[in-house]
Amino acid sequence: MSRRIRLILISIAAVLTFGTLGFVYLEQYPWLDAFYMTLTTITTVGYQEIHPLSQSGRLFNSFLIFFGVGIMLQSITVIAHAVIEREFGDLLGRRKNQRMLERLKDHYIVCGFGRVGRGAALEMQRSGVPFVVCDTNAERVERAMRMGMLAVQADCTRDETLRDLHVHRARGLVSALASDAENMFVILSAKTLNSNLVVSARANEEEAEQKLRRAGADMVFAPYYLTGHRLAQSILKPHVQEFLDIFTRNIGFKASVEQVRVEEGSEMAGRTLRDMQVRRELGVIVLAIRRAGGTMEFNPPADASIQTGDFLIAMGEPASLRRLEGLLMGARA
């Protein structure tokens, strides 16, 4: 809006300058009379001509009316829009956010929009899944909204806030608050309100990891430990680290790694990887099978069978992975 207002002001100044110069050089008006004539013309005040106009002067004035009045009308529209947006923008924004929150289902909640939470939110945005950001800091919430995310300024540790975020019908929650105590409050509250919720939490101290798991976190990550580990790996095993970066951050490569669930009623349930021909027909490589019982089978052989509830950890291009997902859901690729 500020950019549009600047353009409008520049356009008005240009029209006033153009009109003043035209009346001065075509009709030999004094400078003040020329400016006054231009101003009364483009504002449609309707005063009579200060001095009689020649034929060329009338043509010039007609041209000035056509373009100058249009710019002035556009200026009034932009200014009125800015005033209305300033007066009612917050109210309309809150109502829009509330409507979007009411429609959320099978979504994810990101508690905290610091460096860690922002990274989690960006990954969810890239993946195209529904999610909402919650933080007590107004500047962080505004930043999330500028990035095109649904964000709410509230305290995630309160049960009332989690209910407003519809945690009871959410699929997962990321707790990335500044302290381990706050993260523990969020985990306890979220798991109480939705026992099926998948919770991933940040741990600032290494000894807090087990406590957060006992509180109900399914996965706990210590960002400082992980950063140090990856720094060492980048020196000791640079090619391994490069490979991991490619498939965890999609750096300069079209393929990605995804998890695909074998749904109930799928025609593929009970069949082997050889029967499915996922590599030859779909161009997908199965890296591992996460069994429904919780065990992980790495580099499964061709005669490994898949069952309902298993997850295939597969690598391939996005279109190929979607075709694999369609097969495992029972739809024809």
Domain end, chosen from 200, 221, 242, is at 221
Answer whether residue 252 shows pLDDT above 60.
no
**Cα 104 from Cα 151, distance rounded (Å):** 13
Whether residue 260 is found in the same domain as residue 293: yes
DSSP state at residue 221: E
Q: How many CA atoms lie within 13 A of 265 on its CB side?
A: 4
Residue 234 lies in a domain: no
Whether residue 92 is found in the same domain as residue 119: no
Residue 233 lies in a domain: no
Whether residue 271 is found in the same domain as residue 320: yes
Residue 237 lies in a domain: no
Domain end, chosen from 221, 242, 277, is at 221
Answer whether residue 100 shows pLDDT above 90.
no
Q: Which residue has the higher pLDDT, 98 or 27?
A: 27
CATH number at residue 93: 1.10.287.70
Domain end, chosen from 221, 244, 271, is at 221
Q: Domain residues for 109?
A: 105-221
Number of CB atoms found within 10 A of residue 294's CB: 6
Answer whether residue 240 shows pLDDT above 80.
no
Whether residue 274 is found in the same domain as residue 185: no
Answer whether residue 88 shows pLDDT above 70.
no
Q: Which of 68-72, 133-137, 303-307 has the lowest mean pLDDT?
A: 68-72
Percent of the chain topping pLDDT 70: 89
Domain count, the chain: 3
CATH number at residue 112: 3.40.50.720
Q: Which amino acid is at 9?
A: L
Residue 232 lies in a domain: no
**pLDDT tens digits, 127-184:** 888 999 999 998 999 899 888 888 888 999 999 999 989 999 999 999 999 888 999 9
Write down the mean pLDDT value for the chain. 82
Answer whether residue 332 shows pLDDT above 70.
no
**pLDDT tens digits, 260-280:** 888 887 878 888 888 887 778
pLDDT class for 11, splitting at 50, 70, 90? confident
Whether residue 16 is found in the same domain as residue 111: no
With tokens 């945690």, the residue in question is: 167
Tokens of 279: 């590599």
Answer whether residue 91 shows pLDDT above 60.
no
Whether residue 58 is found in the same domain as residue 146: no
Whether residue 137 is found in the same domain as residue 210: yes
Residue 125 lies in a domain: yes
- Is residue 257 helix, strand or coil? strand
Whether residue 183 is found in the same domain as residue 112: yes
Whether residue 123 is found in the same domain as residue 52: no
Whether residue 182 is found in the same domain as residue 203: yes
Instruction: Please indicate, yes or no, whether the overall pTM of this predicted structure exceeds 0.75.
Output: no
pLDDT score for 251: 46
Whether residue 141 is found in the same domain as residue 201: yes
Cβ-contact 261, 295 below 8 angstroms: no
Answer whether residue 256 shows pLDDT above 90.
no
Among 93, 151, 82, 100, smallest CA distance to 121 is for 151
Residue 90 lies in a domain: yes
Q: Average pLDDT for residues 225-242, to the nearest whole number? A: 77
Whether residue 120 is found in the same domain as residue 217: yes
Residue 333 lies in a domain: no
Residue 244 lies in a domain: no
Q: Average pLDDT for residues 56-82, to the nearest whole number? A: 78
Answer whether residue 9 shows pLDDT above 60.
yes
Answer whether residue 242 shows pLDDT above 80.
no
**Cα 266 from Cα 326, distance rounded (Å):** 9
Cβ-contact 200, 172 below 8 angstroms: yes
| Bridge partners, 173 (sequence order) | 109, 199
